[in-house]
Amino acid sequence: MISCFGGFKMKGILSSKGSHPSSLFHRPSQTSSRVQSSNHLTGQNNGLSPRARNLALALGALGIVYGDIGTSPLYAIKECFHGLHAIALNEGNILGVLSLVFWSLTMVVSIKYVIFILRADNKGEGGIYALLALIPTDSGMLPSRLYSTVVIAGIFGAALLYGDGIITPAISVLSAVEGLQVATTAAAPAVIPLTCTVILALFLVQRHGTAGIGRIFGPVVLVWFAAIAGLGTAEVAQHHYILKALNPVHALDFFIQNRLHGMVVLGSVVLCITGGEALYADLGHFGPAAIRISWLAVAFPALLLNYFGQGALLLEHPDFAPNPFYGLVPRALLYPMVALSTLATVIASQAMISGVFSLTQQAVQLGFFPRIKIVHTSSETRGQIYIPQINYALMIACISLVLIFGESSRLAGAYGIAVTATMGITSVLYYFVVTKTWGWAQWKALPLVSLFMFFDVAYFGSNLLKILDGGWFTLAVASAIMIAMTTWRDGRAELSKKMINSRLPINLFLEDVERKKPTRVEGTAVFMTVSPVGTPSALLHHYKHNRILHERVILLSVRAVDVPVVPREERLQVQDLGQGFLRLIASYGFMETPNAPDVMRMASQFGVETESAMTTYFLGLETLTTEGNSKMMRWRKALFVFMSRNSWTAPAYFGIPSDRVIEIGIQIDL
């Protein structure tokens, strides 16, 4: 490999760190691209009627969407009456806690998410990035400073979901395996090793993809919901008195009687709605109809029956407080139930891990995260991806959590903050969408969002009381990730500004080419560039040092737009600049991974015929220093430079064959 600044680097046998993505991306302030809804996991209709298709999707949604919230009965009630901040076990408190559980599931999940938030789809996709992308960037609609604040809130919400992705496998699997201690106290020493083994196996199989095992997720979770509903129903049938908890007066009386302690316990009640954000995040996979059917027909009633069954059990047998979920299980069925619980929690963890992969891919495309290796594990199903670095980082973090905290009760304090803060941020973003994008009047938007925020703020405030019990972990993880994301975003902006300001107008360059008539060699040269205007610096250096040009020169800009998926017919724009120069602008949504050779193949539809063997890609390889005069603080510059040097190579990320690449080095002082 040969390299020099102002010269060129020929990439052949050896490899090096790639160039910074800001030299390859341009993210416009807004886009008018019209994108059709796409369901990642659904495939085609396969001849099914709309009703049958929705039912099939609803079954699939049970495994992917409701795995997390569906396994909450393993620990939610236990934390209220046996956790670190347990409340006294008496009739009033049991009815109060169950009333809070019922109204939390009803108001937050059934009303907020299922009825309202699911309507905020971004071309069929959901999730916090999709919601953020719906907010207009036009300063006439939203002041730039306010918009920046909203973006920071969205980034922090996404960062919190990473913390959720770390905690979910740890607390879920650990809670399930702890059931062995109910069967026999002799199993206690095996709980931690067995939990770590299950988590290790879960992450090691990620590289094979989830297409195969995903087909059994729905049926297994359906069996899980049927089992927990049956266990709860058997207990409720013997103690109808427990149904009095449906009355919200019991929730109000709970706070009157317990005051501050009641607020602390509310932080444990929140565990019953963990995973609620998944309803929205997986919108693009299944569509709103399937998600609503599976929630209202299966998940919601099954969860209520089990929670009320646990409450009824505690009324009669308070000695089951250490683990009321397994207290419902007949002794002969304990081991099968532990196995089913473990399988259900593995599925819940799998869904969360896949969600983190998807979230990372979106962050890369939107410019909040460095390029990273993304492996598509299915040639048929878009959205089936695997990210090795993220996978192993999550694995180490999850196993470390289990070893450090040791029991699910100690992990519960860390869990609630991530969930409640993300839900609150979702409500704030939703307010800007309904008022600025949909044009709702304030009298219509404020009461609704205020109702959402009443619950969100109450839940978040109650969990702040448990920061020392583990909540610090979530906040630390989210803060670190947010710092990295904002530093990457700001560093890209500074780098892009420096490169664009020093860029020569393309018309002046073409005039010089026409005047000097340099030697033109056979083939096509593709110069990848940050901006669809001006002359790429790599082209200037190549022309300056080599004094030759290819017969056809293509200036290729790959830009990320604020939509999930861009249809192929709207992917590419082609402009003939003259002198054998063409400008190609390829647009990709934040759920997609760009591919330069694919863009070149698509260009043939516009009459741009290129032969892959005669095509060479030129990329700018920026060497960054912190000696410039940008507004970024020096430590952030250093972090940005470190992230840039360790990002995945540009040729690999853009799918460019390594033997077709020339990288031209440029030094830039930030």
Whether pLDDT at 376 is above 80: no
pLDDT of residue 209: 67
Higher pLDDT, 440 or 24: 440
Residue 122: DSSP 8-state: B
Q: Predicted confidence band at 48 (pLDDT cuts at 50, 70, 90)? A: low
Q: What is the pTM of this model?
A: 0.80
- Mean pLDDT, residues 348-364 taken together: 85
pLDDT of residue 86: 86
Higher pLDDT, 419 or 410: 419
- Mean pLDDT, residues 506-530 taken together: 91
Q: Which two three-digit tokens encode residue 360?
A: 């990372």
Look-up of token digits 């031209």: 664
Residue of 170, 191, 193, 177 whose CA lies nearest to 398? 170
Half-sphere exposure in the Cβ direction for 161 (13 Å, CA): 32
pLDDT of residue 396: 94
pLDDT of residue 263: 92
What are 88-105's pLDDT values in tens digits? 999 999 999 999 999 999
Whether pLDDT at 584 is above 90: yes
Whether pLDDT at 469 is above 50: yes
Residues of the chain with pLDDT > 90: what percent? 43
pLDDT of residue 215: 64
pLDDT of residue 303: 96
Question: Kindly report the CA angle at 403 between 399 and 405, in degrees rounded to 5?
Answer: 115
Average pLDDT, the chain: 84
Which of 180-189, 391-400, 500-509, 521-530 shows the lowest mean pLDDT across its residues?
180-189
What are 5-30's pLDDT values in tens digits? 333 333 332 233 333 333 333 333 33
Q: Which two three-digit tokens encode residue 171?
A: 């607390």
Higher pLDDT, 67 or 114: 114
Which residues in 19-129 belong to E strands, given as ranges?
Answer: none
Whether pLDDT at 87 is above 70: yes
pLDDT of residue 359: 86
Q: Predicted confidence band at 302 (pLDDT cuts at 50, 70, 90)? A: very high
Q: Which two three-digit tokens encode residue 630?
A: 């940008």
What are 117-126's pLDDT values in tens digits? 999 988 888 8
Q: Predicted confidence band at 427 (pLDDT cuts at 50, 70, 90)? A: very high
Higher pLDDT, 497 or 640: 640
Q: Predicted confidence band at 214 (pLDDT cuts at 50, 70, 90)? A: low
Give phi and psi for 250, each to the nearest 5. Answer: -65, -35
Q: Which two three-digit tokens encode residue 379?
A: 């040639």
pLDDT of residue 26: 37
Residue of 667, 553, 662, 665 whose CA lies nearest to 618? 662
pLDDT of residue 17: 34
Give phi and psi for 578, each to the nearest 5. Answer: 90, 170
- Mean pLDDT, residues 641-668 taken together: 87
Report the DSSP pairing between strands 548-560 and 519-528: parallel
**Most confidently predicted of 161-170, 222-231, 415-424:** 222-231
- Mean pLDDT, residues 426-437 taken together: 94
How large is the greatest C-alpha to C-alpha distance in the chain, in angstroms? 95
Is the Cβ–Cβ distance between 628 and 622 less than 8 Å? no
Whether pLDDT at 32 is above 90: no
What are 218-245's pLDDT values in tens digits? 888 999 999 999 999 999 999 999 999 9
Residue of 133, 152, 137 whose CA lies nearest to 566? 133
pLDDT of residue 80: 92
Domains of the chain and any CATH numbers: 9-25+503-669 (no CATH), 50-490 (1.20.1740.10)
Look-up of token digits 């009456």: 81
pLDDT of residue 47: 58
What are 606-624's pLDDT values in tens digits? 888 888 889 999 988 878 8
Whether pLDDT at 445 is above 50: yes
Half-sphere exposure in the Cβ direction for 406 (13 Å, CA): 4
What ranges in 317-441 are assigned the alpha helix state H? 324-327, 334-366, 388-405, 408-432
pLDDT of residue 39: 42
Helix (H) or strand (E) run with residue 257 in it = helix 249-269
Which of 173-182, 204-213, 293-302 shows the lowest mean pLDDT across its residues?
204-213
Q: Which two three-digit tokens encode residue 654?
A: 């853009």
pLDDT of residue 52: 79
What are 333-353's pLDDT values in tens digits? 999 999 999 888 888 888 788
pLDDT of residue 635: 92
Which of 182-186, 378-382, 405-409 shows the lowest mean pLDDT across its residues?
378-382
pLDDT of residue 650: 84
Report d(CA 557, CA 555) in Å as an integer: 7
Higher pLDDT, 12 or 131: 131
Higher pLDDT, 17 or 173: 173
